[in-house]
Amino acid sequence: MKGKTAMKQTEQKTLLKSQQGELDAVLMYNALADAVKDKKDSETFRRLASEEGRHAAVFKALTGETLKPKKTLATFLPILYKLLGKKRLYPIIAKFEYSAVDTYAPVAESYPEVQSVKNDEKRHGDTVLSLLDQHKDTASS
Ligand SMILES: [Fe+2]
Ligand SMILES: [Fe+2]
């Protein structure tokens, strides 16, 4: 019994951490949408922000907790965009998205509703990277 409770607590911790990450990502993508030069990138980040909002709602339904988004990423990512440029920043963002896929894989085994969240993160990684491809395509065509 005790072991089961401890496991539940660990699960709840993981879910809360995920919920927090999703909330922070909403602010981060909206801040990026405001900061980036390309209109297409801006629209894409705006869309990703709303999808992270849906993810946050999935975790909120599981934890039953209301959390406040933290502004740290939303503050630093636009600065990094200016410092690094999209060619260097977007692969870093994609890496975050792909690492979320690995984080959510075991969670999705216990909570099937997390499966679609996990799939979205893979797509998010691909989408962010594709913003760099398009650049190449436009330049070469
Ligand atoms: Fe997400
Ligand atoms: Fe994402």
Rg value, the chain, Cα: 16
* 55/111 Cα distance (integer angstroms): 13
pLDDT in tens, 69-101: 999 999 999 999 999 999 999 999 999 999 999
Ligand 2 centre distance from Cα of residue 6 (Å): 29
37 by DSSP, 3-state: which? Answer: coil
Average confidence score pLDDT of the chain: 93
**Closest ligand to 121 CA?**
2
Ligand 2 centre distance from Cα of residue 26 (Å): 9
Helices of type H across 36-113: 39-63, 72-84, 86-110
What is residue 139's predicted lDDT score, i.e. its pLDDT? 47
* pTM listed for this prediction: 0.91
Domain ranges, ordered by start, for the chain = 8-138
Ligand 2 centre distance from Cα of residue 116 (Å): 11
Ligand 2 centre distance from Cα of residue 60 (Å): 16
Residue type, 90: Y
Share of the chain above pLDDT 70, in %: 93
**Closest ligand to 24 CA?**
1
The answer to whether the CB of 22 falls within 8 A of the CB of 56 is yes
Residue type, 6: A
Could you list which residues have their CB under 5 Å from ion ligand 1?
Answer: 22, 52, 55
Q: Which of 27, 40, 48 is nearest to 86 (CA)?
A: 40
The answer to whether the CB of 15 falls within 8 A of the CB of 107 is yes
Q: Which CATH architecture has domain 8-138?
A: Up-down Bundle (1.20)
pLDDT in tens, 93-132: 999 999 999 999 999 999 999 999 999 999 999 999 999 9
